[in-house]
Amino acid sequence: MTQVEKIVVKPPVLRAGDVVAIVAPASNLKRDYLMRGVAELEHLGFRPRYREDILDKARYTAGSDARRAEELMTALADPAVKAVWAARGGYGVMRILNMLEDDVLRANPKIFIGYSDLTALHLSLYRRFGWVTFHGPMAAKDLAGGTEHYDRETLLAALTRARPMGEINAAKTEMLHYGSASSGYTATGRLLGGCLSLVAAMMGTPDELDTRGSILFLEDTGTRPYAIDRMLRQLRLAGKFDEVRGIVFGEMTDCVQHAGQGYTIQEVLAECTADLGVPVMFGLPSGHSPRGNLTLPLGVNARLDAERGILCVDESAVIVSS
């Protein structure tokens, strides 16, 4: 089955009053940030819950691998939980992927939302089960910062409405390449991707990203331009750009060598993608973006209109369950 023929599994729509489980499968977190995120989820109309051991610490992770895997599995398998919300990123998801129970997860599709290190879980849930997941604000980070730190409209549109989101409005995007006139400077495909560092780190694993027929979204933060270049070359050498239909880069916050480097990250990205013949956009604020973090559904059909500089989500990401 080719990428474009892959059957996707959409989770049930999220409704006011639904229970959402906050989980920490990656790095440890602070209680005050967690409680601010809980308050924001309540303000949005949901019923957040979490386990007290979510505040555990084990070196750089939120407790042991066994604790984090069990917390995640319990939340994903619980029929009372309608969405599983990552508290924060950092590191740790790759350590627990082989501890998850495929048969249980396959039978319990539901909303999962997060970014950064959670990209590893996005890739795994899509590759193994075809799940549509959500690259969006995290509870103890973006939601904890209030509405200026995340985009409420795209969050609610993605999770609570069983219809296409349509145009994703972002004021500061720019086109690095327009693609070909023969395609009308427009590309269509499944929107896939996440944090570039994790997409690269998952290469060679059973859950590495299948980019064929995709609009590929890549973002990162605090990574020097030569390292961004290296990861893009790695993906290219692995054939991951051979059949992409378009590329959308995030804001790539703080991806600089030094203040006087004499070039921009846009120039680096433009050079790395110059001869692909597909439209390439830069600057979509989803993931590591300090303001207006957009929610993007991963696994649904999207359209990159280069002439207008617009990304459109043309397929609903959730379904109305019976």
Just list the catalytic residues: 116, 219, 288
Note the Cα 79 to chain centre separation in Å: 24
In terms of Cα–Cα distance, which of 2, 1, 3, 37 is closest to 20?
Answer: 37
For residue 103, count CB atoms less than 10 angstroms from its CB and return exposed for 0-12, middle for 13-18, buried for 19 or more: exposed
In terms of Cα–Cα distance, which of 271, 281, 204 is closest to 245?
Answer: 281
CA atoms of 281 and 319, how far apart (whole Å) = 29
| List of residues 6+ apart from 7 with CB closer than 8 A | 1, 130
For residue 246, count CB atoms less than 10 angstroms from its CB and return exposed for 0-12, middle for 13-18, buried for 19 or more: buried
